[in-house]
Amino acid sequence: MFREIKEHVYRALSSLYDKGLMAYTWGNVSEIDHTRQYMAIKPSGLDLNHLHIEDIVIVDIKTGKVVEGDYKPSSDTSTHLELYRRFDTIGGIVHSHSINAVAFSQAGMDIPILGTTHADYFCGSIPCTRPLSDNEMENDYEINTGWVIIETIERRGYDPMSIPGIVVRNHGPFSWGVDAEQAVFYAGIMEIIAEMNFKTLCLNPNSEMPAKLIEKHWNRKNGPLAYYGQ
Amino acid sequence: MFREIKEHVYRALSSLYDKGLMAYTWGNVSEIDHTRQYMAIKPSGLDLNHLHIEDIVIVDIKTGKVVEGDYKPSSDTSTHLELYRRFDTIGGIVHSHSINAVAFSQAGMDIPILGTTHADYFCGSIPCTRPLSDNEMENDYEINTGWVIIETIERRGYDPMSIPGIVVRNHGPFSWGVDAEQAVFYAGIMEIIAEMNFKTLCLNPNSEMPAKLIEKHWNRKNGPLAYYGQ
Amino acid sequence: MFREIKEHVYRALSSLYDKGLMAYTWGNVSEIDHTRQYMAIKPSGLDLNHLHIEDIVIVDIKTGKVVEGDYKPSSDTSTHLELYRRFDTIGGIVHSHSINAVAFSQAGMDIPILGTTHADYFCGSIPCTRPLSDNEMENDYEINTGWVIIETIERRGYDPMSIPGIVVRNHGPFSWGVDAEQAVFYAGIMEIIAEMNFKTLCLNPNSEMPAKLIEKHWNRKNGPLAYYGQ
Amino acid sequence: MFREIKEHVYRALSSLYDKGLMAYTWGNVSEIDHTRQYMAIKPSGLDLNHLHIEDIVIVDIKTGKVVEGDYKPSSDTSTHLELYRRFDTIGGIVHSHSINAVAFSQAGMDIPILGTTHADYFCGSIPCTRPLSDNEMENDYEINTGWVIIETIERRGYDPMSIPGIVVRNHGPFSWGVDAEQAVFYAGIMEIIAEMNFKTLCLNPNSEMPAKLIEKHWNRKNGPLAYYGQ
């Protein structure tokens, strides 16, 4: 019954390892089924060498309970659940500890929008969330991680699909898409952009990009009159 | 009829991927035929895994119309056309988003000439273009990208074959040569030089190179009395 | 008799090379047997291509004498011995010259704790030892290297298994664990964290991490109520 | 007759490419025969794909004339000759454009001695030469490059085998050894040290290493009482 989303999650995990975005067990991937009742998610603490498709865990979106699978789901399960519950355009989520994106999260900085590579996929700076309060860390830490992502998106007032990723303060990047494969795609792009922007800011800390150029590239690829691609 | 330039463009694209200069679909390659009436160019938005030699698109240089091929040509087609129309020594063009060259373009900085690696192939700093005006971005963006490259070369008053590359502000590197293969060659050298110079400027922001040493290395390899090579 | 610990040390060395943590002959690995009377350690100055399992040297922990093996043991043997003698929870030790960890040791800086990647495995900053005195360098240099590691741990007052690694000033990283394999695991993590933190500090020299988040991640993975993993 | 030194030079070149120290045709290798009358050196401007053992050129040390080989020798031949003529302990020379060592040469900075990785092979900072005068560049540039290396070594007053490498200002690294293989070995170490030190100086521009620790590590490996290795 859940074969397809399990396969998608497994393949997305393989792809994360292949692209060098995931070391050890540092990351997780999930995908929601088309009814939006269940999600498939990586088991906690296992790396790809010890993982089979059938080990992917199925969790009920509403209750958060495991409904299929022999393993405990990812420790970040509650974070994924909050995002799926809040945004019904999100179909897949990736969390990784890719090095350059982590550097921005540890520096407490947005990944600023500085070039067209960025603007083709994210129509603004990729936000860094605020630090959680001590209370938010002590109680329901993973749920609150989901909430601080939601809060950041809603306070800044943008559609999560227009900037399909974020860096969680002192932690690392999350990205999302219509499915797990697309979430991996954005995870890869975030990491490359983060490396470009790290170097850009070392060269010139005052670098910036004209608003009109952001708009032009975003629309050329994603707007109603997009003319990039076939 | 256009088999040869299609093959050249296809092979140049493979080479860009092999050398790590191109990720995803981020870049394009073109080559003009010997009559300078037609160019072969990569289709828009396809990566190498989905590309065959026969998919390379043929465009009429004068009209800009597709004359052969099932796909839409690269979204940067007009930029390539402007360069071929203006400079009749240019036979092939490459655009990429290679990381270190993009860093200079995002920082709004020339890739400064600091060493002999650079001076052996580019006889001066590799310019960064000025930002486009809002109007230039809104109307005929790709044509204007070509024009700002031409304007930069002509204002600074040098032969485009003596510095066969440029970084477009907030965008990324373009390079050119007598054919697509040579344009890839210069794209690869620009990226290495950009990495060297990024590190050099981190170590010493005031680095520079004596004019006489630039002249010496350029002439040793490219001047009328060149004695490098066979 | 010592086959098992020799194999463990050999396999751990292979793993160090495979992960890119060791170049040339720059590093060593040891493991203590379950009686804590003997350790197996890499011979001095040999690289993996010239090394067989039977070449691994066995040293008596109490006397420091070689009891089996045709080669001289690692020049850092005395450093390993001091650590095994002092801390009976340490079962394996790795020393390497991995690039980013060395950079912190040469800069004379702790690898500061700045994110959850770090806090999942090391519950505080990874210390950099003080410089040795001239006298400590001239006489019993390797013993004193062991002592300055012990001194650093004890002055700062933490359990060596809660921060299973250190950088020795102007030298490089040491890490340890319950066995050689775990010591390699921590050597790999230290190098990744060092790269993340190098970039973080370039972006924002004042980066820091809330104490509560360190505690949360450390306990989530290592505390009595740990819920990460299976 | 010259088969052995040709093979050594060819193998050393392969090794430079394999280790990522040489891109395109950027570098050269030579080795002197045991009579110190002849050297084998790479032909100018050829890369490894177009090179066979028999293409390696033999040059007479005294006259600088080619005595065997169909190709022109490296454009840097005169630089190699000057070094062999001056220092009779040098048996092999490598020049490359490896990225991190070039960064120091372009920054006009010594590769400072900051750690034991360095002190195990080079008993002091690796000097950066002074800029050549305009006259030295215009006339006999390659000879003068050899001379400025010799001048640097002799003014600073050290044995070239105690610091078997240098960075030529705005150009790149040269290294040497008893033969071509050892010169490649030092070229590889210089590049790693340069990367370590680049990062160290970004973290802490005032980094330094106690003189006693330099002495200790140098002697442990290279002194009369060396005890590193077998």
Task: State the first-to-last Cα distance of chain B, in angstroms, to the nearest integer.
Answer: 34
Mutating which of C99, C186, C195, C199 best tests the A interface, going by the most A Cβ atoms within 10 A? Answer: C199
Angle formed at CA D189 by CA D200 and CA C134, multiple of 5 degrees: 60
Two structure tokens written together for B33: 């035929």
Q: Do residue B134 and residue A196 have CB atoms under 8 angstroms apart?
A: no
Q: Do residue D172 and residue B115 have CB atoms under 8 angstroms apart?
A: yes
**Residues C22, C188: Cα–Cα separation, whole Å:** 10
Chains in touch with C (3+ beta-carbon pairs under 8 Å) read: A, D
Q: Do residue C202 and residue D200 have CB atoms under 8 angstroms apart?
A: no
Average pLDDT over residues A88-111: 98
Query: Which positions of A are annotated as active-site residues?
Result: 120, 228
CA distance C5 to chain A (A): 24
Q: Please determine, for residue B219, whether its predicted confidence score (pLDDT) is greater than 90.
A: yes
Q: Do residue C216 and residue A44 have CB atoms under 8 angstroms apart?
A: no
Q: Please determine, for residue A155, whether its predicted confidence score (pLDDT) is greater than 90.
A: yes
Active-site annotation holds for D120: yes
Helix (H) or strand (E) holding A55: none
CA distance A206 to chain B (A): 8
**DSSP code of residue C130:** P
Measure CB to CB from residue B204 to each of D102, D109, D137 and give the nearest one: D109
Contacts across the B-D interface (CB distance below 8 Å) = 83
Using a CB-CB distance cutoff of 8 angstroms, which residues of chain D are in contact with residue B192?
Answer: 23, 99
Q: Please determine, for residue D106, whether its predicted confidence score (pLDDT) is greater than 90.
A: yes
Using a CB-CB distance cutoff of 8 angstroms, which residues of chain A are in contact with residue C195?
Answer: 99
Closest residue on chain C to A108 (Cα): C207
Q: How sure is the predictor about B1, in pLDDT bands with cuts at 50, 70 and 90?
A: confident
Chains in touch with B (3+ beta-carbon pairs under 8 Å) read: A, D
Closest CA to C161 of C147, C179, C188, C173: C179
- Mean pLDDT for chain D overall: 97
Residue A79 identity: T
Measure CB to CB from residue C107 to each of D192, D200, D227 and give the nearest one: D200
DSSP string, D122-165: -SS-B-BPPPPPHHHHHSSHHHHHHHHHHHHHHHHT--TTTS-E
- Mean pLDDT for chain A overall: 97
**Residues D132, B24: Cα–Cα separation, whole Å:** 45
Catalytic residue among D47, D60, D120, D141: D120
Closest CA to A173 of A227, A58, A94: A94
CA C62, distance to chain mean position in Å, is 21
Average pLDDT over residues D204-230: 93
CA distance B60 to chain A (A): 20
Chains in touch with D (3+ beta-carbon pairs under 8 Å) read: B, C
Q: How sure is the predictor about A215, in pLDDT bands with cuts at 50, 70 and 90?
A: very high
Closest CA to D5 of D59, D45, D48: D59
User: Which residues is B31 bridged to in the sheet?
Assistant: B40, B92
Two structure tokens written together for D221: 């490996």
Task: State the first-to-last Cα distance of chain D, in angstroms, to the nearest integer.
Answer: 34
Integer Rg of chain D from CA:
17
pLDDT tens string D30-51: 999 999 999 999 999 998 898 9
- Interface pTM (ipTM) of the complex? 0.96
CA distance D137 to chain B (A): 7
Query: Which positions of B are annotated as active-site residues?
Result: 120, 228
Higher pLDDT, D226 or B100: B100
Per-residue pLDDT tens listing for chain C (230 residues): 899 999 999 999 999 999 999 999 999 999 999 999 999 999 999 988 989 999 999 999 999 999 999 999 999 999 999 999 999 999 999 999 999 999 999 999 999 999 999 999 999 999 999 999 999 999 999 999 999 999 999 999 999 999 999 999 999 999 999 999 999 999 999 999 999 999 999 999 999 999 999 999 999 999 988 998 88
**Residues B111, B114: Cα–Cα separation, whole Å:** 9
Measure CB to CB from residue A107 to each of C188, C204, C212 and give the nearest one: C204
Using a CB-CB distance cutoff of 8 angstroms, which residues of chain B are in contact with residue D97?
Answer: 117
Q: Do residue A109 and residue C204 have CB atoms under 8 angstroms apart?
A: yes
CA distance A230 to chain B (A): 6
**Residues D5, D3: Cα–Cα separation, whole Å:** 6
Query: Which positions of C are annotated as active-site residues?
Result: 120, 228
D78 conformational bin, left if phi > 0, alpha if psi -120 to 50, beta if neither: alpha
Confirm if D103 and B194 have CB atoms less than 8 A apart. Answer: no
Q: Do residue A116 and residue B201 have CB atoms under 8 angstroms apart?
A: no
Q: Do residue D170 and residue B116 have CB atoms under 8 angstroms apart?
A: yes
**Residues C198, A26: Cα–Cα separation, whole Å:** 19
Confirm if D141 and D181 have CB atoms less than 8 A apart. Answer: no
What sign for the dihedral angle of Cα B90, B95, B98, B101? Answer: positive
In chain C, what is the greatest distance between 2 CA atoms, to the nearest angstrom? 53
> Residue C218: what pLDDT?
94
Using a CB-CB distance cutoff of 8 angstroms, which residues of chain B are in contact with residue A116?
Answer: 170-172
**Residues B9, B32: Cα–Cα separation, whole Å:** 10
Task: State the first-to-last Cα distance of chain C, in angstroms, to the nearest integer.
Answer: 34
SS (H, E, C) C27-39: EEEEEECCCCCEE
**Residues A141, C219: Cα–Cα separation, whole Å:** 12
Measure CB to CB from residue A107 to each of C189, C203, C230 and give the nearest one: C203
Closest CA to A94 of A160, A183, A8: A183
CA distance A34 to chain B (A): 28
Going by their DSSP bridges, the two strands C27-32 and B66-68 should be labelled as unpaired
Q: Do residue B115 and residue D106 have CB atoms under 8 angstroms apart?
A: yes
> Residue B207: what pLDDT?
98
Integer Rg of chain C from CA:
17
Q: Do residue B210 and residue D103 have CB atoms under 8 angstroms apart?
A: no
Q: Do residue A137 and residue C203 have CB atoms under 8 angstroms apart?
A: no
CA distance B70 to chain D (A): 36
Q: Please determine, for residue D200, whether its predicted confidence score (pLDDT) is greater than 90.
A: yes
Average pLDDT over residues B15-41: 97
Q: Do residue C210 and residue A107 have CB atoms under 8 angstroms apart?
A: no
Confirm if D152 and D83 have CB atoms less than 8 A apart. Answer: no
Using a CB-CB distance cutoff of 8 angstroms, which residues of chain C are in contact with residue A138?
Answer: 212, 216
Using a CB-CB distance cutoff of 8 angstroms, which residues of chain A are in contact with residue B108?
Answer: 204, 207
**Residues B184, B42: Cα–Cα separation, whole Å:** 14
> Residue D1: what pLDDT?
82
Contacts across the A-C interface (CB distance below 8 Å) = 83
A71 conformational bin, left if phi > 0, alpha if psi -120 to 50, beta if neither: beta
**DSSP code of residue B111:** B
Q: Do residue D229 and residue C44 have CB atoms under 8 angstroms apart?
A: yes
**Residues D62, D36: Cα–Cα separation, whole Å:** 9
Confirm if A111 and A126 have CB atoms less than 8 A apart. Answer: yes
**Residues D58, D68: Cα–Cα separation, whole Å:** 5
Mutating which of C170, C196, C206 best tests the D interface, going by the most D Cβ atoms within 10 A? Answer: C170
Using a CB-CB distance cutoff of 8 angstroms, which residues of chain B are in contact with residue D102?
Answer: 115, 117, 196, 200
Measure CB to CB from residue C228 to each of A45, A99, A138 and give the nearest one: A45
What sign for the dihedral angle of Cα C155, C157, C163, C164? Answer: positive
Measure CB to CB from residue B170 to each of A114, A188, A230 and give the nearest one: A114
Going by their DSSP bridges, the two strands D38-41 and D57-60 should be labelled as antiparallel
Q: How sure is the predictor about A1, in pLDDT bands with cuts at 50, 70 and 90?
A: confident
User: What percent of chain D is helix, strand and coil (3-state, nearest 5)?
Assistant: 45, 15, 40
